[in-house]
Structure 1
């Protein structure tokens, strides 16, 4: 069974490109130097051979004055290509040499500005030719591949007068590429390590990343790009002046109190403002004068991609106070709206426990209901008990107004950050709503996400949403305990932005500034290793831990203390990546061993 979807069984059965379509596809006498099996043979592979021939058509050193519609360029550690397929589409591909991942999309030639369609490697889908096409410069770092590439190019340029010689070059090229990809783990630097999901669905290019220049080739080697925008650096590496950014997008002339001013975030010197934060601020400000200003935003992505820091940066850019609310599996609607807490001021009865606390209600609803009513009902819910508590508190309040004596526990209402932000027009971050066990909790807040929204508090007060209120929902994806966000919530988000992991340059800059580590070259290797660990965990389904920016920061700090990269890794990135000793040993041997001195 193939280790990568590029070499699935069906891929060997596809018709070969001309002029090899009439040739014998298997040779037992000609093969690459990487053929180590007892039975020696090589097989012509349609997708990889098509990619090699297409690259030659574009390569001006082989085809002077080339009119190929394909293009190739680089951006740091990224190989970037646009391959024009036989089906009349442009297949745009990015290969990141650091994490070995592909990002791709299919575009209509007639409308290159349209959104990307999924690139999926399957018998009824895409052959993978565009991915092989992107790997050719990496393949040519091998002397054998480069020698046979030149030999086949000579045959092609001459019109294939000697098919026997062309066949020999084709056999070696296909076998060389196949074995260096499939056996990459055992070939060291000669191997070509790639990472493609077993489903064959390659990570999709997003309009946001295309528009902001994340994959803009800074060096164009061949052709003219139509999808990517050459010449620009990735926006993630562009520095935005913090002093200029803070308050730049303010859409309100309100004067805040001293206490409120303390809630407006101050951005740290080490912080690099992401383009997503700048974009959200622009949308919020520029739509303010419209009939439906944009005030609801969703940021989602893996842990450590900076979603919470981005939410704070948005508040700083808008010049608004920032509050947050962190959800949990047990979060209920009344947790979001406010809590009735025992009033410990001026009464000794607050500790009497005559009325159940919120913890009592959450832990044992039937017992809490019995304490309130003297009736024990097994099927009673938390919401029903809470409603009964509010009813009794209301009766106590009425008795107090009538001048009648009252005893027992006194309660007072305490606003949550959500209500404070709604009432006063702040920026509110709702963290991790996908962990809430009850899917109907956030749906209960749909009214607050609409225009002219209002909510009724447990006290009976109706609070209208302040027009300046900005709600930012931040959530992880594909983590244990996370559920899909309800569609009615997503539909009320004005912008839904997927936060990608920062590129290596941005990541290293952030970590160096936070930790103060001056050994930048080592931090670069540590950052690359964290990306490799992440990729390894995804491939091997190790999902009981996390290894991201936070773990990298801890690793670098520990390295600064003990002076050993490997020793500090034991208690930071390795222990965080998995709690299973066998998994940690596998990660160590695959991603760490041999890379750093002990």
Structure 2
């Protein structure tokens, strides 16, 4: 089999780094074989200089990080969301910046001489680049394999102990080099352990252009180890909306000068300190406030998006920004228009009044204390011979008599009460209407039109006409991808003043949000967990697994559980995996394809 560009014959002739530069460590050996070395009768393992140099650099960087030592001059390894793995590999008088696309298997790389900010091309070939910088960038991906992970931990120990056991270190280095070689060269044959690369046969790696550097196109969103010097962490080529502080948002978008009652003021949501106000929420508040004096103020809004993307929290934030009470109604398949505008319930006030007029009956404690006195209270006759049984018999007789009197009164009284939605329309609150697309009866959605028309009156079953308060804001939140959801009725959509599709957050946002919510402090671990959640969601879409959910809520539950169990794998089984599907085969597939890419049992 022809070797790939990273393992051409000349790469095996390069000098090995100390302390493996002794000739006895060169050549092929029949020990230190990787578990993936299964082909052929004469199975051998060989130290590979570019791979071994990358292992050295990575081990030094990890050890320094774990020991809290300075990492200057050791390079850095990080990621840009879930797509790119990014590294800076430092060698003599230069730094190689490498970007690896985990989806395509392609590299982008440039060399920077010390003191220069001008990128130079990176080429794999004798007399040029050896490929060490590319292997260095791949280290976190290679470490996802259990054999590599265990062997690398042993390799670090040998390095930390000053290579005191060279025989053990040699065998460990052989196994690591063989693991790398087999998983890259035989990527298609080793299954999920394979690392598929797309390296040009010319060895010419696409370069990081100066424009891409200036725009921050390949800026890492997180550094796993080390500190980036050339590719600055956090720089983005996307102009982001400035973060709005709570102080500049809460109560700053009041729609009128009205004074809330004490009860209404208590219904205004209080935003938690960790909550980052989305730009969509700010825009809703701006549009509602600035159109208040127009003939058609903007008061109806639609948030669409997957579960856990913050739609309900966004509706509550809108209420906080406007300093208005917040109410909520959740629709179901059986929801009718009467469920939305009001309900008839029994009027229990007359029964309470009757009980008060009849007087309270004695308690068991009273009866036990002195039965004759209680008997006198019930009948007006004092008899010192009366026992507890006599009193209880009389008590039952009186209670049954009262019940019979109530049943003789014909015509149970009922009264009409407002739903949270109608209360918001009547008094001018922010009302969230959740999942109206779940309603089975299409006529119900059409019946909502009257509720959504601005400043219109609706007629209740009681005959009362309720005028929509000019401050009333209705926010519809829905996810049309849910099982059981139907397409939103066009007449409803046409009455929405603004429609925002709330997308799933990117990896960096997921990590930041879940750490803020849970108080979790391990960013590296949180990033791995967020990657698993994204992988599960992608896998579910690809394989049509639709009986569950995997998003921010599940990630939060997983992190919280991990903080208790200290075992991410165990906690994942009862959170993200269990939530994704109820089917055992589906869960087994998700464990194999998604969870065990980051966590091995």
For Structure 1 versus Structure 2, the TM-score category normalised by the shorter chain is 0.5 to 0.7
Select 1:532's aligned residue among 526, 535, 545.
535
Once the 2 structures are TM-superposed, how far is the Cα of residue 417 of structure 1 from its aligned partner? 0.6
Report how far residue 345 of structure 1 moved.
2.0
Larger Rg: 2
Distance 1:437 1:318, change over 3 A: same
Question: Which consecutive residues of structure 1, in runs of 5 or more, have no partner in the other structure?
Answer: 1-27, 39-74, 79-94, 99-132, 152-178, 193-214, 223-228, 351-404
**Residue aligning to 1:159:** none
8 Å contact from structure 2 (residues 303, 476) kept in 1? yes
Query: Once superposed, what is the RMSD of the aligned Cα atoms?
Result: 3.9
Whether 1:278 aligns to 2:267 is no
Q: Give CA deviations for 1:29-86 in whole Å, capped at 9, x if unaligned.
A: 999899xxx9xxxxxxxxxxxxxxxxxxxxxxxxxxxxxxxxxxxx9726xxxxxxxx
Q: Does 1:447 align with 2:450?
A: yes
Correspondence for 1:242: 246
Distance of 1:444 and 1:270 partners within structure 2: 39
Q: Deviation at 1:243? A: 2.3
Structure 2 SS opposite 1:190: coil
Counterparts of 1:137-286 in structure 2, within 5 Å, are 138-140=106-108, 147=124, 186=192, 188-191=194-197, 218-220=215-217, 231-235=237-241, 238-286=242-290
Is 1:337 aligned with 2:341? yes
**What is residue 560 of structure 2 aligned with on the other side?**
557
- Name which of 533, 539, 544 aligns with 1:541: 544
- Which of residues 577, 582, 591 is equivalent to 2:580? 577
**Residue in 1 aligned with 2:523?**
520
Please name the residue that 2:312 is paired with: 308
TM normalised by structure 1 equals 0.56
CA drift of 1:184 comes to 11
Other-structure match for 2:141: none
For 1:64, the equivalent position in structure 2 comes to none
**Secondary structure, in 3 states, of the residue corresponding to 1:244?**
coil
Partners of 1:426 and 1:250 in 2: CA distance: 12
> 1:517/1:349 Cα in 2 relative to 1: closer, same or farther (>3 Å)?
same
Match of 2:501 among 492, 498, 502: 498
CA contact (8 A) 1:216 1:232 kept: no
- 1:596: how far off? 2.2
Q: How many angstroms apart in 2 are the aligned matches of 1:448 and 1:290?
A: 20
- For 1:469, the equivalent position in structure 2 comes to 472
Match of residue 162 from structure 2:
none
Q: 1:140 to 1:518 in 2, by over 3 A?
A: closer
Map 1:32-431 → 2, pairs under 5 A: 77=80, 96-97=83-84, 138-140=106-108, 147=124, 186=192, 188-191=194-197, 218-220=215-217, 231-235=237-241, 238-347=242-351, 407-431=410-434
Runs of 4+ displaced beyond 3 Å? 28-34, 95-98, 133-142, 145-148, 179-192, 215-218, 229-235
Q: How far apart, CA to CA, are the structure 2 residues paired with 1:510 and 1:259?
A: 32
Give unpaired runs (5+ residues) of structure 2.
Answer: 8-38, 40-77, 86-100, 111-121, 129-184, 199-211, 220-234, 355-407
Structure 2 distance, partners of 1:231, 1:508, is 20
Does the aligned pair in 2 maintain the 1:303–1:476 contact within 8 Å? yes
Residues 332 and 147 from structure 1, CA distance in 2 versus in 1: closer, same or farther, beyond 3 angstroms?
same
CA displacement at 1:146 relative to structure 2: 5.7
Report the count of equivalent residues: 372
Alpha-carbon distance between aligned partners in 1 of 2:340 and 2:516, rounded to the nearest angstrom: 36
CA deviations 1:428-461 (Å, max 9, x no partner) are 1000101111111021121222233111112110
Q: Who is 2:44 aligned against?
A: none
